[in-house]
Structure 1
Amino acid sequence: MIGFPNNPDSKLSGFSFESLRELLIGKILLLCHHNADPDAICSAFGVQMLIRSIEPFSDARIFLPGGASSLTRRIMDALGIQVQNEAFIDDYDTLVILDTATPIQLGDWGEKLSKSSAKKIIIDHHSKHPTMMKISNYSMIDESATSTCELVYNIYSGMGVKPTPIVARALLLGIVYDSRHFFIATPNTLNAASALLEIDGSIPEIFSMLRSERKRSERIARIKAAQRIKFHDTRGWILAASRLSSFHASSARALIGLGADASVVAGSEKGNLKASLRSTDLFYQGSHIHLGELAQTLGAEFDGSGSGHPTAAGINCKGDVNLFLERAIFMLSELLQQVSKNHR
Structure 2
Amino acid sequence: MAMKQIRTFFINGGILTISVLLSVIALEFAVRWLFPAYDPSSMVKFYFNQDGVLLGRENSEFHHRMKSGDFNVTVRFNQYGLRDRKDLNDSTASDWFVVGDSFSYGHGVEEPQRYSNLLEARLGRPVYNISIPTDFNGYEKLIQYAIERGATIKRLIVGICMENDLQNYASRNQNGEITVSPSPSQKPSTAAPYYDNVRRNAFFRLKIFLGRRSALYNVMISTFHQNPLLNNIAVRYGIIDEYEDGISRIMYSDEILRKSCEKLLALRQKYAISEMVLLLIPSRALWLGGNQEIEAKMHVQFASLLREHGFEVVDLRPVFEASGNPMQYHFQHDGHWNVAGHQKAAEELLKHLNMQRETSLQ
TM-score relative to the length of structure 1: 0.27
Task: Using CA pairs under 8 Å that are at least 6 residues apart, name the structure with larger relative contact order, 1 or 2.
Answer: 2
Q: Give the number of the structure whose alpha-carbon radius of gyration is greater.
A: 2
